[in-house]
Structure 1
């Protein structure tokens, strides 16, 4: 059997925000009519080829609604996508009911804790917004005046959820569901025998650590992975282009 699979984070991995936009970048996402997400023309060409292999599964913390905003090349989206930090699987844009049921059972012991943590974060009145994402995890957005790591540390001992800062965002995640727990489920569903993964943040670590090859940007992320797993992008190449170029060769394509 030779069924490789590429699982990849989206934001700051395959696409990037207005903040990191470069001249010539192509818009691949709109929000309320405004340009939101971008990628380079080269990355878009590579993405088109990777999608054609049928072996790409995006794995993202985005909600279903946020994921569905993405404009895939030629209007052809990957057949499968995992959203909501591993909790939901989309098949041709629709929620997979068996996957949903399994995730709901895994999160059930943390349901009350999710509600309590959302209330706790909201009551602090120092976040721009707090919300429950697809009923699966809690999210808080911090303004520029707030130290994100100090904000994360302030929840130590106050919640049973895993608290991870990322950019201006705080994620409160049930330990029973993650990008890492999604990986063996995906391998079984798609009958994959080996996995390459790509990601840029600590939320991706559980997924990256379980892969045969893990593509990461320059920085300290590689040091948190098992020896011999990480492949680090070069300083001069955009991360999305590195990921897609490397993956295309690994999946049996060209480039």
Structure 2
């Protein structure tokens, strides 16, 4: 939904609003149309912002439609309830990570032994859950990602690349699991009916499981999933790429929500 200048996809002159500042400088944008459409969508149906960003990174975005009852950050490792991390969910995730494979400390040590400054500009650990590299794309050694992913999968983790970032993620930290939990809670409180459909959108490999569990999903014609030619049942691919795809995705969400909205009983 938000895009840096480098990701506009040829639509640099379109009317837009800055929705994220970093160290006082504008960083991410939405078109003015997307701002209006997201705000309207949040009034129409439960919308759950879901991101690989850390809690801190998510909270610096001024996302139209706020405040959010639920938001998912850290690739599903944290569920925010009214802006506050849910400790019970996080404890459950930490327990699953410990039970299913290597610790972040072990993975981080192994990863750092395989990299050097000739092609890695940053190594970061996110919310004490996972780690990622910022790399010079053209300088990444041939075969590195496949070899690293193979090591990770043998230890309960996986690796994927999105642009200049290579993520290393424990299997227990997954957006689809957090989305399923939020959906369960909304059903339990009656905010969603038991038969209410789930619609999702995403553009990276880490989003794939979330797209696969949805009743219908959409991805843009850019990003990692486009490069992988990813498809799934009931998946729509946008006609546009870049910042214009954000508007197209929101139009798709509106149409889906209106199509499945309960019909009021006649007076």
Gaps spanning 5+ residues in structure 2: where?
A: 260-267
The CA RMSD over aligned residues, in Å, is 2.3
Report what 2:57 is aligned to: 66
With normalisation by structure 1, the TM-score equals: 0.84
User: Counterpart in 2 of 1:122?
Assistant: 112
CA distance in 2, matches of 1:71, 1:217: 22
- 1:184 has 2:180 as partner: yes
Aligned length in residues: 238
Which range is displaced more, 39-48 or 91-100?
Answer: 91-100
Unaligned regions of 5+ residues in structure 1, if any? 1-13
Does residue 1:163 correspond to 2:163, yes or no? no
Q: Secondary structure at the match of 2:19?
A: strand
* Structure of larger gyration radius: 2
Q: Say if 2:240 and 2:248, in contact at 8 Å, map to a contact too.
A: no
How far 1:137 moved relative to its partner? 0.9
Structure number with the bigger relative contact order (C-alpha 8 A, sep ≥ 6) is 1
Aligned to 1:28: 19
Aligned-pair CA distance for 1:111:
7.0
Q: Which secondary structure does the structure 2 equivalent of 1:226 belong to?
A: coil
Which range moves more in the overlay, 162-171 or 111-120?
111-120
For 1:234, the equivalent position in structure 2 comes to 239
Closer/same/farther in 2, CA of residues 72 and 157 from structure 1, 3 Å limit:
closer
State the shift of 1:54 in Å. 4.7
1:33 Cα deviation from its structure 2 partner: 0.4
Kindly report which structure 2 residues correspond to 1:5-84, keeping only aligned pairs within 5 A, or say none. Answer: 14-21=1-8, 22-23=12-13, 24-73=15-64, 76-84=66-74
2:81 is equivalent to residue 88 of structure 1: no
Query: Aligned ranges for residues 98-177 of structure 1 at < 5 Å?
Result: 98-109=88-99, 112-123=102-113, 124-126=115-117, 127-147=120-140, 150-159=143-152, 160=155, 161-177=157-173
